[in-house]
A and B are shown apart, each in its own frame.
Chain A
Amino acid sequence: MSNQQKIKDYILENFLFSDDQSALKEDDSFMSKGIVDSTGMLEIIYFLEDEFGVQVAEDEMVPENLDSVNNLVAFLAKKQ
């Protein structure tokens, strides 16, 4: 399974409680769509760290890296 699919499935399952792939677009902003709150973002970071073995530094916690499935995939590609 691609990183993109793994991340999308994780967000769908844990924040939208759905397996309907059309419920989330890859470039939907987590913040402006109200999908994730501050503790949810912490959960996403733990997920990235556990699932993909990367460490997320504090200055990497910015919307450009984390605010959509696409941003997460691009961020992960840089880190891995």
Chain B
Amino acid sequence: MSNLVESLRENAGKYPNNEAIVLGDDRLSYQQLWSSVSKLASFFADNGFKRGERVALLLDNSPEFVVAYYGVAAAGGAVVALNTAVKAMDLDSWIGHSGSTWVIANAQHSEFGKLAARQQAVKFVLFNASEKAEDDFLWEDVEAYTDSQPDVTIDGDDVAQIIYTSGTTGEPKGVTLTHHNLFTNFSSVLQYLDLDDSDSIVNVLPFYYSYGNSVLHTHMMVGGKVVLQNSLMYPHLVMQKITDEKVTGFSGVPSTFTLLLSRVKLDEVDLSSLKYVTQAGGAMSPSHIERFCDAVPNARFFVMYGQTEASARIAYLPPDELINKMGAVGIPVPGVKVEIRDDNGNPVENGLEGEICVFGENLMKGYWRNPEKTNEVLVDGWLKTGDLAHMDDDGYIFIHGRSSDIIKSGAHRISPKEIEEVIHELPEVEEVAVVGDPDEVLGELIRACIVVKPDMELEARVIKAHCHQRLAQYKIPKKIEFVKELPKTASGKIRRFLLVDN
């Protein structure tokens, strides 16, 4: 069985002049990419790097991110790609929890200064920097190394990547994925997307989440091209990029497509190069799917479903069945089994609701250094997803909702508990519950319901300002509602679902 590094090395030999990564005027061929990857691996080997060491990346989607990812893997290390939208406190917690010994960071990142002050023990490799501390290195130092690949053997069971899915106030959950997990799952994805080295994609998804991660590596595995467009703030420019680069693919979450449909006249943009479009990260409304498909009649539209704990993909809806099975997330991807089970772990009959449980070589090794949480979701080799669904007689999965409280807003999975704990830090707050209200653009919109202590006063702006200090922008509640009390069970647990605005 191969792995991502081996696959990239082969493609650098087969397609040396194919473009691999494009960002603005920066165009990196497979040969150039592999050369930079080998230099970074040589750099690590020369600096006493040991197999299995973790390296955190604080880099936005960029050619440097891709070089760093593959360079760390080629050196025998595990990548911890940090969410670049969060605050230093979260970054600090994940670096500490993963035991990362190195951090490759963009020194211009807004939280970098705070992070560097907190992280004295790790060594930094700094991109976009002109100065450094004594024990640190500059990206330019790496480029001076030889591009002969160090002699490192990668086993399928070696940890390739740890993806953190929750913030600092809860227990850190680092999804630990092996080389074998990633390679088998991305191979499954390639089977149904049917990509080759002539394919290319405009990518707006962050690589630090599993969806963007799978988009990147599936294209690297076939010698395809990934054109980076790092912001959806200007949807028109994203569509223009598809036209200019004549790419064959585009991937998004429901809010991506809603933004495009609401702000771009798609019939006036030349999207004729698109052959495939993928959508994951939550349910997209059928009317939006139909409208987008009308705008790109030549493209196959794939609805997909997955979880970080399953490397990325669990199910996909074959485009030929899109109309017939509208509302379904499809059938299991090749090599993966899905059962819908009741609370006792027994499979339910077709048509009945239960929890989606998954079996396959794509399942994570566990949560990093957290056997307790691992045992809650990995039972007898099966992954309990927490998603509620039924399966029809043809084996198609229809999701009803989640059994846990996670809020899905845009591309993000957000724990309400984390936001509640931050709001609770304000002395005026007696009680707080955070919920996700249905929202056309974001999927769910964060609302905080707050009970203020008797004889105290609190303004919504003060709460938002406090959240702004402590939390990533996307976790700040859009709405603040002051209430007299929160609905509770007899045992005093907050009944969150009664607060959701349906």
Contact = CB atoms under 8 A, between A and B. Distances in A.
Interface in B424-476: 441-442, 461, 464-465, 467-468, 473-474, 476
Given A18-B465, A38-B231, A42-B441, A58 B110 contact: no
B47 interface: no
A62 to B, nearest CB: 6
B442 A39 contact: yes
Interface string A33-59: 110111111100100000000000011
Given A37-B473, A39-B410, A42-B262, A58 B468 contact: no
A16 B467 CA distance: 10
Nearest to B204: A38
Contacts of A63: 233-234
Contacts of A38: 231-233, 235, 255, 259, 410
A58 B465 contact: no
Interface residues of B, number: 26
B265 A58 contact: yes
B468 A62 contact: no
A66 B235 CA distance: 13
Given A42-B262, A58-B264, A61-B234, A37 B474 contact: yes
B473 A58 contact: no
A66 B473 CA distance: 19
B473 A42 contact: no
Interface string A11-39: 00101111000000000001101101111
Given A39-B441, A42-B263, A58-B264, A16 B468 contact: yes
A17 B9 CA distance: 49
By size class, the interface of chain A is 20 to 34
Interface in B213-254: 231-237
Given A42-B259, A42-B441, A62-B237, A34 B473 contact: yes
A32 to B, nearest CB: 9
**Is chain A's interface secondary structure helix, strand, loop, or mixed overall?**
helix
A62 B464 contact: no
B412 to A, nearest CB: 10
Contacts of B234: 41, 61-63, 66
B468 A37 contact: no
Nearest to B410: A39
Contact of B236 (A13, A30, A34, A58): A58
A18 to B, nearest CB: 6
B263 A33 contact: no
A34 B231 CA distance: 11
Given A34-B473, A61-B263, A41 B233 contact: yes
B110 A62 contact: no
B236 A17 contact: no
B259 A39 contact: yes
Contacts of A40: 233, 473
Nearest to A65: B234
Contacts of B468: 16-17
B264 A17 contact: no
Contacts of A17: 461, 464-465, 467-468, 476
A58 B260 CA distance: 10
Given A31-B231, A37-B473, A59 B236 contact: yes
A54 B440 CA distance: 24
A61 B262 CA distance: 12
Contacts of B467: 17
Interface in B455-502: 461, 464-465, 467-468, 473-474, 476
Contacts of B410: 37-39
A16 B468 CA distance: 7
A37 B255 CA distance: 12
A33 B233 CA distance: 13
Given A42-B263, A45-B263, 8 more contacts: A15-B473, A17-B461, A17-B464, A36-B233, A41-B233, A42-B441, A58-B265, A61-B235
17 contacts: A16-B468, A17-B461, A17-B464, A17-B468, A33-B110, A34-B85, A36-B233, A37-B410, A38-B231, A38-B410, A39-B259, A58-B235, A58-B264, A61-B237, A62-B237, A66-B233, A66-B234
- The 10 tightest CB contacts between A and B, nearest first, are A38-B232, A17-B465, A17-B464, A41-B233, A58-B236, A17-B468, A38-B233, A61-B236, A61-B234, A58-B264
